[in-house]
C-alpha cells in the first residue's frame, strides 16, 4: 500500500501541520512516511503545500508530480494541482472562497466545507482536523486510534487538553464530507 | 539503551545526532535552508545535559575558526551552513585540512551561484569534492539520501575525521534538510574524557610541545607534508568507499545519483521497469572517495550511464573518469532550486537516449 498525497492551501490554514499529523499517525501505525514541504517565501503568506507519502514499503522519491489524493484548500491550489491527480484518484476540496470548481471527470471529487463547519463549531483552528477527518472517511488508511496517537506526538504537551476538540472535529469531518 | 523512533526534519536529525554522538561543540551562523540545526541545538540546550557547547558566532568565518580552535584542542566539533555560507568558510576549511584536524562541516546545499536561491540544489559538488579552498587537499564527503542517514552520518563523520585526522563534510541539500521522515536515533554517547596525543592541551613535562599549524616555510619539508597527505587520501580511497546499488544486476541503463537525486532516481528505476526498460541505480554514499572502481566495472555490462544531479553537470565528470570511455555517459538534471522529478528522468532516458 502506498498513498501519495498533496495538501495545498493558504499559509496559516494548518496545511503543514495537517500533513505532519498525518505522517505521525502513519508512524504510529508502523508505516513508512515522508513529509516534504514547500518552504521559503510561501511561509510568510501566500500558498503553502506539502507532499505526504504513507507506505507499507520503503519510500523512493519524496518529491513527485502526480498524486493519489489532492486535498485542496484554496482557489490557487485548485488551479495548480487539479491536473496533478492521477487518473482514478481523488480530489477533496473546501468550497469556501472557490469560484471555479473542479471539473475533471476521470477522478472522484469530494467536498468538505470545513471552514464553514469550524465556524459553526466555534473552533476555527480545528479547520484542518475537519478536513483530515473527511479524508480518513474516504481513505481509511490509518486507524483513528493511531491518528489520536499521532496528534499527541505532534502537539506540544501544553496543548494536549485540546485533543478532545480535535477528535470531535475529525468525527465531524467524516460526517460532512460528500461526493460531488 | 534502545534506539528511539521519531519523525524529524533532516536538519533536526543532524542536530539531535550531534548531541547523541557526544559532540563537544557546535559553532554556526543561521542561513536558510539549514537554520533548524542551530535552532534545534539552541532549544535542546545540551550544555545542561552533556556539556556540549552550542554557539551562534558573529559570522560564518568566525564559526569555522572556532571549529579550527576547538579541533586543535582535540575536541569533537562541528559547524553547518548552506552554500553561500560554506563559501565564506573555505579559508578556515583549507587551514583545518592543512593542519590535519578532525571536524564535521555540514552543507545543506541551495541553488547558486552567489546568493542564488533558498531551494535545494546539488551545485556545490565540485567545491565539496575537489577542494573548495586553495592547496592540494580533500575532505571526506558523505552524501545522505534520507533523514535516517542525516542522523547516522554524524557519528560516522566524527569517527572518520578522528581516524584520518581530516575534516569531513556531510553534503546534503534543502530537500533532505527540510523533509520529515522516520528516524531511529542512537542512544546517547558520553563525551570523550581523553585527548588525542597530538592535541594542544598544554605542555606536560614528559613530552615535547604539540604544534598545530598549516605553515612550513621550507619547501622540501612542505613537499614531504604534501606527500604524506597524498598517501592519506590514497588510503581513504582504498578503505572508505561506500555506495548502494538498486536493481543493478540486470540493468541495461544505469543511473548514477546521490542524495535527493538518488531518491528520485530510485522511483525512476521503478517507473522505467514498469515500461519494460531495465534501469538500475548506483548511489554513491561517499563522494570523496568516489566509487570509481565499481562504476568502472558496471560500465562493462550496461549500455549507457546517466548521471542525474541538480546541477549543470558536476559529478558527471567523475562518472566519465570512472567509465573511461567504455560506454556513453550522459547528464540530466534541473537547476536553480528545482528538484528533478522521477518522470522527467524517465522521459529524458526515453526521448534523448533510447530514442535519440
Q: Hey, are the CB atoms on A63 and B264 less than 8 Å from each other?
A: yes
Tally of CA atoms within 13 A in the half-sphere of B207 that contains its CB: 11
Give phi and psi for A99, each to the nearest 5. Answer: -105, -30
Q: What is the pLDDT of residue A42?
A: 58
Give the residue-averaged pLDDT of B187-198.
96
H helix or E strand, kind and range, residue B137: none
Sign of CA dihedral B4, B6, B11, B12: negative
Beta-ladder partners of A70: A6, A91
Q: What are phi and psi of A7, to 5 degrees?
A: -120, 125
Please check the confidence at residue B243 and state whether its pLDDT lies above 60.
yes
Give the pLDDT confidence score for residue B23 in this predicted structure.
Answer: 98
pLDDT digits (tens, 9 = 90+) for B281-321: 999 999 999 999 999 999 999 999 999 999 999 999 999 99
Give the list of residues 6+ apart from residue A99 with CB closer than 8 angstroms, or none. A75
Q: Is the pLDDT of residue B1 over 70?
A: no
Q: Is B18 in contact with B54 (CB distance < 8 Å)?
A: no
Closest partner residue to B182 among A33, A36, A40, by Cβ?
A33
Give the model's pLDDT for residue A11: 82
Nearest Cα residue to B253 out of B231, B276, B229: B276
Predicted pLDDT at A131: 97
* B195, B197, B198, B200: CA torsion to nearest 10: 50
Q: Given CB atoms, is B109 within the 8 Å cutoff of chain A?
A: no
What pLDDT does residue A120 have? 92
The rounded distance, in Å, linking the Cα atoms of A132 and B126 is 44
Copy the grid coordinates of residue A18. 495537517
Q: What ipTM was reported for this prediction?
A: 0.92
In the 8-state DSSP scheme, what is residue B351?
A: I
If you write DSSP's letter for every residue of B9-37 in order, what string do you get?
EHHHHHHHHHHHTT--EEEE---TTSHHH
In percent, how much of chain B has pLDDT > 70? 99
Task: Answer yes or no: same fold for B4-189+228-238 and B243-354.
Answer: yes
Can you say how many angstroms the Cα of residue B197 is from the centroid of all Cα atoms in its chain? 27
- pLDDT, position A40: 61
Residues 6+ apart with CB under 8 A from A148: A163, A167
Cβ A66–B118 below 8 Å, yes or no?
no
Supply B146's cell numbers: 534520507
Residue with cell 508512524: A27
Per-residue confidence in pLDDT tens, chain A, 180 aa:
999 999 999 888 899 999 999 999 999 999 999 999 986 665 566 789 999 999 999 999 999 999 999 999 999 999 999 999 999 999 999 999 999 999 999 999 999 999 999 999 888 889 999 999 999 999 999 999 999 999 998 888 999 999 999 999 999 999 999 999
Strands B180-185 and B4-9: antiparallel
Give me the domains of chain A, ranges plus CATH numbers: 2-179 (3.40.920.10)
Q: Which residue(s) pair with A178 in the sheet? A: A111
Q: What pLDDT shows up at residue A139? A: 96
Is residue B300 classed exposed, middle or buried when 0-12, 13-18 and 19+ CB atoms within 10 A define those classes? exposed
pLDDT surpasses 90 at B175? yes
- What is the crossing angle of helices A127-138 and A163-176, to 10°? 50
What average pLDDT does the structure give for chain B?
97
DSSP B308: E
DSSP B135: S
Give residue-wise pLDDT tens across range B13-70: 999 999 999 999 999 999 999 999 999 999 999 999 999 999 999 999 999 999 999 9
Rg (CA), chain A: 15
Nearest CA in chain B to A27: B182
The size of the A-B interface in CB pairs under 8 A is: 69
Q: Does B10 touch chain A (CB under 8 A)?
A: no
Which of B235, B237, B258 minimizes the C-alpha distance to B246?
B258
Cross-chain Cβ contact B341/A27 below 8 Å: no
Chain-centroid distance of CA B311 in Å reads: 16
Check CB contact under 8 Å for A63 and B260.
yes
Q: Which residues pair with B169 in a beta bridge?
A: B105, B141
- Enter the DSSP assignment of B192: P
Q: Is B254 in contact with B248 (CB distance < 8 Å)?
A: yes
Question: Smallest CA–CA separation between A30 and chain B, in Å?
Answer: 10
Q: Give the dihedral sign, CA B292/B294/B295/B297.
A: positive
What dotted CATH number matches B4-189+228-238?
3.40.50.970
Q: Is A55 on the interface with B (CB under 8 A)?
A: no
| CATH number of the domain located at residue range(s) B243-354 in this protein | 3.40.50.920
Residues of chain A with C-beta less than 8 angstroms from the C-beta of B174? 39
Ranges B62-71, B161-170, B202-211, B266-275: which has the least confidence:
B202-211
**DSSP state string for B217-275:** --HHHHHHHHHHHHHHHHHHHHH---EEEES-TT-SEEEE--HHHHHHHHHHHHHHHHT
CB within 8 Å: B180 and A23: yes
Looking at per-residue pLDDT, the higher value among A45 and B77 belongs to: B77
Instruction: Tell me which of B180, B259, B270 to substitute to probe the interface with A (most A C-beta atoms closer than 10 Å).
Output: B180
Question: Which residues of chain A does B181 touch, with a Cβ-Cβ cutoff of 8 Å?
Answer: 33-35, 59, 62
Of A34, A40, A61, the CB nearest to B342: A61
Question: Where do the domains of chain B lie?
Answer: 4-189+228-238, 243-354
**pLDDT for res A44:** 60
Lookup result for grid cell 501519495: A4
The helix-helix angle for B35-44 and B10-20 (nearest 10°) equals 40
User: pLDDT value at position A114?
Assistant: 96
Amino acid at each position: 500500500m502506498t498513498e501519495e498525497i498533496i495538501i495545498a492551501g493558504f499559509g496559516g490554514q494548518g496545511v503543514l501541520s495537517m500533513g505532519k499529523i498525518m505522517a505521525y499517525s502513519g508512524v504510529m501505525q508502523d508505516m513508512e512516511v515522508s513529509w516534504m514541504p514547500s518552504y521559503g517565501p510561501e511561509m510568510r503568506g501566500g500558498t503553502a503545500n506539502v507532499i505526504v507519502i504513507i507506505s507499507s514499503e520503503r519510500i523512493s522519491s519524496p518529491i513527485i508530480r502526480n498524486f493519489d489524493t489532492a486535498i485542496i484548500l484554496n482557489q490557487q491550489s485548485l488551479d495548480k494541482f487539479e491536473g496533478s491527480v492521477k487518473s482514478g484518484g481523488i480530489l477533496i476540496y473546501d468550497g469556501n472562497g472557490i469560484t471555479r470548481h473542479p471539473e475533471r471527470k476521470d477522478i472522484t471529487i469530494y467536498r468538505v466545507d470545513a471552514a464553514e463547519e469550524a465556524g459553526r463549531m466555534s473552533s476555527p483552528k480545528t479547520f484542518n482536523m475537519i478536513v483530515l477527518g473527511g479524508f480518513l472517511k474516504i481513505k481509511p488508511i490509518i486507524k483513528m486510534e493511531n491518528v489520536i496517537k499521532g496528534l499527541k506526538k505532534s502537539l506540544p504537551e501544553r496543548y494536549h487538553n485540546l485533543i478532545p476538540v480535535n477528535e470531535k472535529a475529525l468525527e465531524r469531518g467524516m460526517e460532512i464530507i460528500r461526493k460531488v | 539503551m534502545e534506539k528511539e523512533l521519531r519523525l524529524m526534519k533532516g536538519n533536526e536529525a543532524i542536530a539531535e545526532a550531534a548531541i547523541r554522538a557526544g559532540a563537544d561543540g557546535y559553532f554556526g551562523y543561521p542561513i536558510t535552508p539549514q537554520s533548524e540545526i542551530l535552532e534545534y541545538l539552541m532549544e535542546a540546550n545540551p550544555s545542561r545535559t552533556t556539556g556540549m557547547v552550542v554557539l551562534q558566532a558573529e559570522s560564518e568565518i568566525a564559526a569555522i575558526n572556532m571549529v579550527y580552535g576547538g579541533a586543535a584542542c582535540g575536541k569533537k566539533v562541528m559547524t553547518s551552513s548552506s552554500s553561500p555560507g560554506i563559501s565564506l568558510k573555505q579559508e578556515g576549511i583549507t587551514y583545518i585540512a592543512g593542519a590535519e584536524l578532525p571536524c564535521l562541516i555540514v552543507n545543506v546545499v541551495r541553488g547558486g551561484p552567489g546568493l542564488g536561491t533558498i531551494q535545494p540544489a546539488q551545485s556545490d559538488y565540485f567545491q565539496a569534492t575537489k577542494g573548495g579552498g586553495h592547496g592540494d587537499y580533500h575532505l571526506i564527503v558523505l552524501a545522505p539520501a534520507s533523514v535516517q542517514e542525516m542522523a547516522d552520518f554524524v557519528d560516522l563523520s566524527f569517527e572518520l575525521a578522528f581516524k584520518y585526522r581530516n575534516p569531513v563534510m556531510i553534503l546534503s541539500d534543502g530537500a533532505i534538510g527540510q523533509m520529515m521522515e522516520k528516524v531511529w536515533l542512537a542512544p546517547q554517547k558520553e563525551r570523550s574524557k581523553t585527548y588525542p596525543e597530538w592535541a594542544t592541551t598544554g605542555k606536560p613535562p614528559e613530552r615535547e610541545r604539540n604544534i598545530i599549524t598549516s605553515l612550513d616555510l621550507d619547501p622540501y619539508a612542505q613537499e614531504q607534508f604534501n606527500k604524506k597527505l597524498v598517501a592519506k587520501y590514497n588510503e581513504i580511497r582504498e578503505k572508505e568507499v561506500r555506495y548502494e546499488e538498486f536493481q543493478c544486476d540486470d540493468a541495461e541503463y544505469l543511473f548514477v545519483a546521490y542524495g535527493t537525486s538518488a531518491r528520485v532516481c530510485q522511483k525512476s528505476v521503478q517507473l522505467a521497469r514498469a515500461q519494460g526498460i531495465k534501469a538500475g541505480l548506483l548511489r554513491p554514499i561517499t563522494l570523496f572517495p568516489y566509487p570509481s572502481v565499481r562504476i568502472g566495472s558496471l560500465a562493462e555490462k550496461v549500455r549507457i550511464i546517466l548521471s542525474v544531479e541538480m546541477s549543470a553537470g558536476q559529478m558527471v565528470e567523475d562518472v566519465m573518469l570512472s567509465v573511461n570511455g567504455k560506454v556513453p555517459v550522459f547528464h540530466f538534471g534541473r537547476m536553480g532550486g528545482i528538484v528533478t522529478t522521477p518522470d522527467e528522468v524517465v522521459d529524458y532516458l526515453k526521448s534523448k537516449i533510447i530514442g535519440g
